[in-house]
Structure 1
């Protein structure tokens, strides 16, 4: 039974939705989420003692926030303004930090550190860091970019993305590429296993036992991969891999192969093979645009989960690991989902080209 001395707490539908949103939203301050849970629990009924036990706070906390809500409703759950310490950093100093970060570099350096800039402006390093965070500035970071100079960039983007988003009927679409020079690396000391509080450890140096190349064809519809390990990646090796795709693909399907502009993919031996296999058609990605080939995403998984921490004492061991990885992948294969349309990609490229063509650049 509820406490008869308590004033009934009735929530409107809007108030209930707002309070439930505060409880569920991760970005909400913990104190505000707790107060919302208290009010929701009070609305369900019960005494202050029962609500306190249900929420996991003391009775005084429930009494305080229940009374605040009844008096001021949702506004009463927010923290009241506090005077705090008087501000010591002026707007001019904030502007100087931002302007110097964006438009200048320190003498003899390429970018500001928080301590160098703090000495120049006359504030503390922590204040510089807070200003950087407030304005989204990260002078310690850098990224690289390459805009494709391919004259057929737009046509190729539309062609490849069209195969991802609207593949032809009665056809198989494969994203194909090579991962060259995969090294068989043996650590000079045994790998020390992970322990509680201690990560796995391996020696910095290694013994190299040679390299292999891996041809991979990712079926964009199923996520399954056809792989072939080769000593090299010449045109004849690519032709042999096309033979492997041909053998493992339903003969009643047309085959569309997405690949990059490597010279081995355009060699006469490949042209002759394509003439003898008319169901195959090659689609080339734009120059310097490996990001559009989905098999590169699969190569990233291969590197992270198989090769990066692998130890291989011979080329045979490396080949066995690659074949095993492909087999395990195919047993639980899932396709990568392409979401951007060709128009969205082209618009973004145009915006980026416009930015880097401005006078400031």
Structure 2
């Protein structure tokens, strides 16, 4: 007799061994000693007896099991082995999951992005917020340009067109990595050129008038934050590196004997040297007894172990507390301040300034500059710049030094 739902529900386990309750057309219920009930289907393929698992009762009902059996019989009629077909489908799902956009994006990040493991990595945050919720589980080969554009439109609607452009750039890097590793044929983000409104370009507010710079420097001297924050704020105008590079400064890269700070610039992929003025060295000497035992010169205040550097918001928040909002002055603005005043007021050669800003300066043959290029001249420039700022802060009438070489 065929099985019924009542018979299956009332079937009691045998304490000795599993037993079967037959349905029809090869379908049966296997009842284990632990009470678990499994639907199975016996069939023959190429003269061999085989068994296909159809599900576990009660999540798989009797009707479900019969439907699966009938599907398997149709496959047999078409010369397909149901068991092998099931394995192929399972393998395809595994491969699909391994080739999903999120899996490949995280693989790209781990291999190609130096700071990917950091909690607040910008590229990772953009993907997690703007792309993964909609496309993360999709096989990357199935994604179309319109799918990515739909995600970018959501970012655009939030009023952050620069972020939309940056997100598109990151997606392009992921697709190019997928091309290199054989997951897709091409970078389809190229089809989206011109699809977004042009980015306005990120502007970092900066003060470049000597009188206002003097007031800013005196305000910084009055700041009442922690010693690392105070020192970072005082050092920022003297070295005018990118804020992220300053925050990630490590003691092992500082040489007090040569008065140099050497580190790798991830943005331009070059080794960089920052000659340290006597004023900069004095600031670092003051801080060394406090943080010199750890990795970072400016460690995070929220991480006592010292394994993380200062937060990216610390310096801008300090400037804001001093009365300098982001529309007036930013931590990044110290670079514009130095670039403008070293050129227009102190008269140093633009290529000296560009080298010191760690910009991708190239020689007439198109080669990227050597990290030691114009180093003696840059040493003089950095000390002259520090002396000039010291004079402004002290209220002295500073006469511009017209340096041309």
TM-score range, shorter chain: under 0.3
Q: TM-score, normalised by structure 2?
A: 0.20
Q: TM-score, normalised by structure 1?
A: 0.22
